[in-house]
Amino acid sequence: MPSALTVVAAVTATAVAGVASAAVGLAGLGAVMSAGPDTTATVARIVDGDTLDVRYDGETHRVRLLNIDTPEIGGNGKDGECLADEATQFLKQRLPVGSSVDLEWDSDHEDRYGRQLRGVFDDEGFVNADVVRNGLAVPMHIEPNDRFRRRIDDAYAAATRSGQGLFDPARTCTLAARTDRVNDAVQDGDRADAYAEATALHSLLTDPDSFASRIMTDTERTAALGRLTTVVDGHAPGKQRTAKATPEKRRSAKSTPTKKPTPKPSPSKSPAPAPTTTTTPPATRAPAPPRTSTPPPAPRTTPAPAPTTPSAPPAPRTTSTPVPQPSQPRPENAAPCRSYAPGGKTFTYIDCDTKLPL
């Protein structure tokens, strides 16, 4: 049973067909009616996530799901875009070959490639919106085709809220995951990863044909590119070296003046000579000669008179034998007797007879 929206569409289409018949004649009316709403067709082949071939009226027609855009599967030397295979697989499971679908059109019947622009319905509901709701497509509104716009936008809001498909950060190829990797690398201070991830993502968003570029509004893309540019410029390898060199130069510049006015290294070197001065004190002990010089003048010069008293050393020996001395009278002009201290260096005058000090 057709939905209320389908009935309204049928009435509108009838009115449009009446106007068209008046304007273009029976041939024009036939062309409009052959592509009109509620066309029942059989699925012949799934091309990708938003394109399929169907058969009706004995012919095969290529249909483009209206108001949505899925990642491209690649080809002609280009890699497949993120989740392109998943979108294609979803459509294959939802619309197996041989299944029946209803096709509904909007203001424009075909795109520039000759594909029929249709809303596709099966027993489960509106296929176009369900592809978006599973996070495998984004809305693509081209005026004046706004018949299904609200339903597509609601499905898109549901996908973004639940983090489905293209909005799931756990899927490494998604825009959400790649943005997180840039942010994580910047926060972790990993300059190499931040530069590599930001550069790759920046290149992707500046390509107008990439799905990542198409998935964002102009405002979102401009803001994202501005931030990515900041990350790329701030983490470029050349600037990394400059950034590292500049603090070093500043440190050396600061250290150089401090070395010139207050040569801290030279003070540290001056203590080193101090040990040499400590080693020189032994040399300064050479003043020890004063010690050797001071003793010689006193004791050794006093024995110098010894030449006048060569007989002095024997005197103690003769005094030790006083037996012959008392009998001999001592001359009056004779020198007094001496008593030498041990060692023979000093002496004391004594009475030759009593041996007492004079």
Whole-angstrom Cα distance, residue 25 to residue 94?
39
- What's the chain's average pLDDT? 74
Burial class (CB in 10 A: 0-12, 13-18, 19+), 236: middle
As a whole number, mean pLDDT of residues 202-210 equals 91
As a whole number, mean pLDDT of residues 103-123 equals 95
Contact 115, 51 (CB under 8 A): yes
Burial class (CB in 10 A: 0-12, 13-18, 19+), 49: buried
Whole-angstrom Cα distance, residue 25 to residue 33?
12
82-104 confidence digits (pLDDT tens): 999 999 999 999 999 999 999 99
The residue to which tokens 């509104």 are assigned = 141
Residue 93, pLDDT score? 98
Residue 263, pLDDT score? 54
Residue 60, pLDDT score? 98
285-331 confidence digits (pLDDT tens): 444 444 444 444 444 544 444 444 444 455 445 444 444 444 456 65
Residue 351, pLDDT score? 74
Whole-angstrom Cα distance, residue 216 to residue 72?
16
152-183 confidence digits (pLDDT tens): 999 999 999 999 999 999 999 998 899 999 99
The residue to which tokens 């899927």 are assigned = 171
Q: Return the bridge partners of 40, or none.
A: 102
Residue 79, pLDDT score? 87
